[in-house]
């Protein structure tokens, strides 16, 4: 079966390097973009999970130090919640999509068929792997600055930041303020039992319909909720009068 269509830029790692704006060893970058499904289908090639492990540690350290320094009045609990939001699979998948990282991944046929290029779990893992590749290609300072540049848009936007803390609750709050009733979710699943992919669709009255993909029902619903929440926020920013009374959920 032919693979799903991929943008032409997928063949040009130079395009991705321009977006990353940091020097990365080409072999390490290729490794960071290699999912285990591709590796298994090609004779057991190395894949990105070791780099993901490394990148996760670097990401956590950089975000922890940033939050500690930027928020001297927050206690440990609040700092932990904000850190969890910025390093969550949903947040990392947002970063990946902003880079169009999915177009550059090397995936196996099964993941191609089930929409792996837009699965939040795969995208999040790839971001961590790229961070690991950047660290090995440069040094701790450069990797830290790279991480902070990636997460800064999320940290700077209180509305998106609040939504990412608990997207389903945040969406429900917006729906209540608009008198639209509770968000309604539906789930479909594809793929074999050992590698299921879930797609969630959420509808908020006649305000918005959004979808999300994940490796679990919960993850798919959270991705759909965050997409719907962000869509409503964007409408308000564009001056939609119906959105003018909405306020951002307060991070807790």
> Can you give the pLDDT at residue 9?
39
> Can you give the pLDDT at residue 7?
41
| 188: confidence class by pLDDT, cuts 50, 70, 90 | very high
Q: Which of 111, 128, 173, 221 is catalytic?
A: 128
167 vs 219: CA distance, rounded Å: 11
- Beta strand spans in 97-220 (E): 184-190, 197-204, 208-214
| 2: confidence class by pLDDT, cuts 50, 70, 90 | very low
CB under 8 Å to 151, separation ≥6 — which residues? 62, 63, 66, 86, 91, 95
Q: Indicate the length of the chain as a whole number.
A: 252
| 200: confidence class by pLDDT, cuts 50, 70, 90 | very high
156 is in an annotated binding site: no
Q: Give percent of the chain with pLDDT exceeding 70.
A: 85
Summarised one tens digit per residue, pLDDT across range 59-99 is 999 999 999 999 999 899 888 888 888 888 878 988 999 99
For the segment 137-158, the average pLDDT, to the nearest whole number, is: 91
CA angle 163, 165, 166 (to 5 degrees): 75
Q: Which of 56, 94, 166, 227 is catalytic?
A: 56
Q: Note if 9 is an active site residue.
A: no
Q: Note if 56 is an active site residue.
A: yes
pTM: 0.71
State the average pLDDT for the chain: 84
For the segment 163-181, the average pLDDT, to the nearest whole number, is: 80
> Can you give the pLDDT at residue 135?
98
41 is in an annotated binding site: no
Nearest residue to 106 via CA among 174, 197, 36: 36
52 is in an annotated binding site: yes
């Amino acid at each position: 079966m032919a693979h799903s269509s991929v943008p032409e830029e997928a063949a040009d790692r130079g395009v991705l390097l321009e977006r990353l704006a940091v020097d990365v060893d080409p072999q390490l970058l290729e490794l960071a973009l290699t999912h285990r499904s591709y590796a298994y289908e090609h004779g057991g090639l190395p894949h990105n999970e070791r780099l993901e492990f490394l990148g996760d540690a670097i990401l956590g350290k950089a975000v922890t130090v940033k939050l500690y320094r930027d928020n001297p009045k927050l206690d440990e609990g609040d700092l932990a919640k904000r850190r969890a939001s910025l390093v969550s699979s949903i947040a990392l998948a947002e970063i990946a999509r902003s880079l169009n990282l999915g177009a550059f991944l090397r995936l196996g046929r099964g993941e191609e068929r089930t929409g792996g290029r837009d699965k939040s779990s795969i995208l999040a893992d790839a971001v961590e792997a790229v961070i690991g590749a950047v660290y090995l290609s440069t040094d701790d300072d450069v990797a830290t600055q790279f991480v902070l540049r990636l997460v800064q848009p999320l940290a700077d936007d209180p509305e998106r930041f609040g939504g990412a803390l608990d997207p389903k609750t945040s969406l429900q709050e917006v729906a209540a303020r608009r008198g639209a009733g509770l968000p309604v979710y539906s789930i479909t699943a594809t793929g074999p039992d050992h590698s299921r992919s879930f797609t969630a669709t959420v509808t908020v009255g006649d305000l918005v319909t959004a979808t999300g993909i994940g490796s679990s029902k919960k993850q798919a619903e959270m991705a759909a909720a965050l997409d719907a929440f962000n869509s409503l926020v964007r409408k308000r920013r564009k001056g939609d009068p119906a959105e003018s009374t909405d306020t951002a959920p307060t991070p807790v």
